[in-house]
Structure 1
């Protein structure tokens, strides 16, 4: 617990970035557009849950929670011609981890955003229209690569029960490229850091993340900072009465997030819930607090075998109505017995002095074995010096 506490405290004491609506404060506002239809349907309160590939956006530590590999595609339709396509792929990998606790996962995503078209008019000296052309208003590309592993496991006795706490940690690296009016381009690199504590038997989780840490983006001369964001969230899956769980295997998940926008120095809040039956159908509801796009969000999900389809709608005013569609394919489930294989840390410590002394004093077995005497070769059979036979 001592090893995990400093990292968690560092994340919790930080604050979260500005929203994309204030484009004069931060660069690359696309980094603050929520990804994933499932998370969006729950008001984007996903930091303490982070149980699918969209953990790359909310909390990279959640990649270790996925027991299978996932490939997901999301399409977002905004106002006018604005649209976003987001593809993500990730899952468990056969590596025991840097610390040696297992449950390692990797994931990557590509985000492509288009912000519609603008018309550029050029005037003649006399004020008449000289020429007119249509250009793309702007576009963004964000490539993300993430890694997560379990860093510790503790059992905490409470009364007559024992709670098993699993600690996971994750990091992301991002490449960001933005274009304005097909003429001005800027690139930047950023990083994310996430931490997640889960009590699987009790259905409880708490997470924290710092997102979009990196230098400024400069288009011409002056640069704008990236939207530094700090998130903290909780999730709880309460035990339902047997009358609800037996007929249709129903599950209820409650989530809540607090977000601090570092550049705007403003707080945001999100709460949400998900009701699922047979692990094939889901209904989601969320609410965003103290936000420029505050209001209710709703979502639905349906799955058949390893395929699922999710939809989310942000029910705010007409200017910020957004519809998200996501398609997910889950494959290659990895059993827990394979993921929890432990070994010594990746960087193994040196042997103790007593062990080194024993190794130095030990003699090779070849020296202890008696050597056979060499047979003398008759002088008339010896070859000439320098010849190879």
Structure 2
């Protein structure tokens, strides 16, 4: 396929992605009006250290989240486990694995989990607790596929099962992510990437916690005040988002490599913003990273991020072991620490 045809194809794909987003007023933010908000939490210590600007640079197991087209750049296989203590003692965990299937492409699976520690059940009559406890958890299971169409152009897609649960009530949804990457010869290998996330069904809570007993007419005496009833909650859409980015590698030698990344975000439920990142690596063994997320986003908390990583060759397995760490400033909400372990084979 000729380069001109590829560029036209990518421009068309990007236009379709942009047009598929809902039209909204730029002066009104819809933050906090979507279901499964945990899907907007980025994964991977490397990506988070780069400020969340990873849609064009994604080339490891975290591409399952950032851009499934990046799976096409994985050689052999890779597995990744990431843990972070999110805000307010919430735990956020991610497991991802991808396996190259030769000319058939690369297949991957991922599990994302957000969990809240147990808390006391409190009521108006018993504000100190009823003796019961409840918890809450979110879960997303993804199946991804990425393939290189040429040596420069790759596409990918992810199908996701999503569940949110609080005590005995839950909501279920399904979504699709689509992504593309295109590598050029400009400026030392400029890479363009684009992805649309969480295009899927609405979610509605249901379960026995929404069952209650009511008095159909409290103004009358002698009637039954224990009529079974179910509360009905509203349906909420998923956090649809379009992200376009670039990755630039101005320095690539045997000893030193430098990477610059920048992503533009266009979410359906918030204002537009920009993420920036930079990575320096020494012999592809030691990595120093920094970034800034949510640039130009009104009322954003924090912004700075940083991280480091060490990669070690496995002498017998022939792969790499990766130990990675990232720090993210959450402003008044506190800092976030992310630890990741990875292995290539």
Normalised TM-score (structure 1): 0.72
Which residue in 1 is equivalent to 2:63? 55
Out of 226, 246, 267, the residue aligned to residue 238 of structure 2 is 226
Q: How far 1:203 sits from its partner (Å)? A: 2.1
Q: How far 1:22 sits from its partner (Å)? A: 7.1
Matched residues in 2 for 1:321 and 1:3: separation? 41
Out of 312, 324, 331, the residue aligned to residue 317 of structure 1 is 331
Matched residues in 2 for 1:74 and 1:17: separation? 35
Are positions 1:279 and 2:288 aligned together? no
Q: What do the CA deviations read for 1:16-67 (whole angstroms, capped 9, x no partner)?
A: 999xx97740000110001000000000100111111111111111110112
Which residue in 1 is equivalent to 2:45? 37
> CA contact under 8 A between 2:302 and 2:332: conserved in structure 1?
no
SS at match of 1:38: helix
The total of aligned residue pairs comes to 299
Which consecutive residues of structure 2, in runs of 5 or more, have no partner in the other structure? Answer: 207-231, 314-319
SS at match of 1:217: coil
Q: How far 1:116 sits from its partner (Å)? A: 2.7
Which residue in 2 is equivalent to 1:151? 149
Relative to structure 1, the CA distance from residue 230 to residue 17 in structure 2 (aligned partners, 3 Å threshold; closer, same or farther) is: farther
Matched residues in 2 for 1:32 and 1:210: separation? 12
> CA contact under 8 A between 1:42 and 1:298: conserved in structure 2?
yes
Matched residues in 1 for 2:156 and 2:50: separation? 23
SS at match of 1:218: coil
Matched residues in 1 for 2:236 and 2:60: separation? 32
Q: How far 1:183 sits from its partner (Å)? A: 1.9
Q: What do the CA deviations read for 1:81-107 (whole angstroms, capped 9, x no partner)?
A: 31012110003113x34xxxxxx1111
Matched residues in 1 for 2:131 and 2:146: separation? 51
Are positions 1:76 and 2:76 aligned together? no
Relative to structure 1, the CA distance from residue 272 to residue 312 in structure 2 (aligned partners, 3 Å threshold; closer, same or farther) is: same
Please show how residues 225-304 of structure 1 align to structure 2 within 5 Å.
225-239=237-251, 245=253, 249-264=255-270, 266-288=271-293, 289-291=295-297, 292-304=300-312
> CA contact under 8 A between 1:16 and 1:261: conserved in structure 2?
no
> CA contact under 8 A between 2:301 and 2:332: conserved in structure 1?
no
Matched residues in 1 for 2:128 and 2:121: separation? 11
Which residue in 1 is equivalent to 2:112? 111
Normalised TM-score (structure 2): 0.80
Matched residues in 2 for 1:145 and 1:322: separation? 28
Relative to structure 1, the CA distance from residue 14 to residue 43 in structure 2 (aligned partners, 3 Å threshold; closer, same or farther) is: farther
Structure 1, 127-136 or 195-204: larger mean CA deviation:
127-136
Q: How far 1:109 sits from its partner (Å)? A: 0.5
Q: How far 1:71 sits from its partner (Å)? A: 0.6
Q: How far 1:139 sits from its partner (Å)? A: 0.4
Q: Which runs of 4+ in 1 moved over 3 A?
A: 2-5, 12-18, 21-24, 127-130
Matched residues in 1 for 2:55 and 2:179: separation? 9
Matched residues in 2 for 1:129 and 1:316: separation? 31
- CA RMSD of the aligned region, Å? 2.5
Out of 126, 136, 139, the residue aligned to residue 137 of structure 2 is 139
The structure whose Rg is larger is 1
Matched residues in 1 for 2:283 and 2:269: separation? 43
